[in-house]
Amino acid sequence: MFKGFYTVATGMIAQQRKTEIITNNMANANTPGFKADQTTIRSFPDMLLSAVGNANIPTERNLKVPMIQEIGTVNTGIYLQETLANLVQGSLIDTNLSTDMALIDGTIPIDEESGKPGSIFFRLEHPDGGEAYTRNGNFTLDAEGYLVNGNGYYVLSDAGERIMLPNDDFQLSENGTIYIDDVEVATLGVSFSANPSLLVKLDNGLFRVNDGEELPSAYTQQGVTFGLRQSTLEGSNVDSAKSMTDLLTAYRAFEANQKVLQAYDKSMEKAVNEIGRV
């Protein structure tokens, strides 16, 4: 009986967490560069149930020997194993702002370990040291003329340096070179992650490498092709219709577990208050 309580409770917890993730995706449906989170639900290992008893041996003395008989397996519940970002490119949105930039995926190699394609990111200088990465190219110029993102993190060049511009009258080529009056100023920093599932997703659409290392430049990676577009933003890749369907499915699953939990509760109430008095 109590195993049923635990199984139902784990189901409710997993569906509640899934609901929170889906609602967060929907809330960021209009956030530039936002990558929707995907969930993986797994079951705990099944338990093998056995019954211990005695078996009669057909002899004159009618001997009995201990015996273990397998009954079957029982599931012990489910859990939300992991949350991974869906790094499929979002739609492109024209903004007519020269400081807005979008990465356009070209040929991205498949990682042999994960079986999934890698991903490219803008390079940012993290205030705690090292680098952070993002697909959100909603940049601007700060008071000192440095190119920064919405959090004030400096955008880095391919050489790992901050990019200073006199004004927003500059041109960004498809290969990432920044020009002012046809003079090359810098090359926009773009990094490549062969296995993006190893990245840690932070707030505001930022990613970092778990061990603190820096990702390699995407310009030098064999088989990686991409482009950049100025005055354009990459939109969120959240599918609102699918997210709403998934949200209703998770809610119904939570509700079904809740009904089962109520049934268990009533059974326990009868066992204590009615059968216990007999």
Per-residue pLDDT, 211: 78
Q: In which domain, by residue range, is 54 found?
A: 2-82+251-277
Half-sphere exposure of 140 (CA within 13 A, CB side): 5
CB-based contacts of 255, cutoff 8 Å, min separation 6 = none
- Most confident region among 5-19, 52-66, 224-238 by mean pLDDT: 224-238
Least confident of 106-110, 200-204, 260-264, 268-272: 268-272
* pTM, full prediction: 0.79
Reading the block at residue 1, the tokens are 């009986």
Q: Are residues 45 and 125 in the same domain?
A: no
Q: Are residues 164 and 193 in the same domain?
A: yes
Per-residue pLDDT, 62: 64
In a domain? residue 240:
no
The Cα 137–Cα 135 span in angstroms is: 6
Q: Are residues 102 and 212 in the same domain?
A: yes
Q: What phi and psi values does residue 196 have, to the nearest 5 degrees?
A: -65, -20
186: pLDDT strictly greater than 90: yes
Q: Are residues 224 and 104 in the same domain?
A: yes
272: pLDDT strictly greater than 80: no
User: Based on the structure, what is the number of domains in the chain?
Assistant: 2
Reading the block at residue 129, the tokens are 């040291």
Per-residue pLDDT, 40: 81
73: pLDDT strictly greater than 90: no
Q: Are residues 28 and 111 in the same domain?
A: no
Per-residue pLDDT, 258: 87
Considering only residues 254 and 3, tell me which one the structure prediction assigns the higher pLDDT.
254
Per-residue pLDDT, 7: 79
The Cα 36–Cα 108 span in angstroms is: 19
The Cα 188–Cα 149 span in angstroms is: 13
| Closest C-alpha among 219, 243, 244, 238 to residue 88 | 238
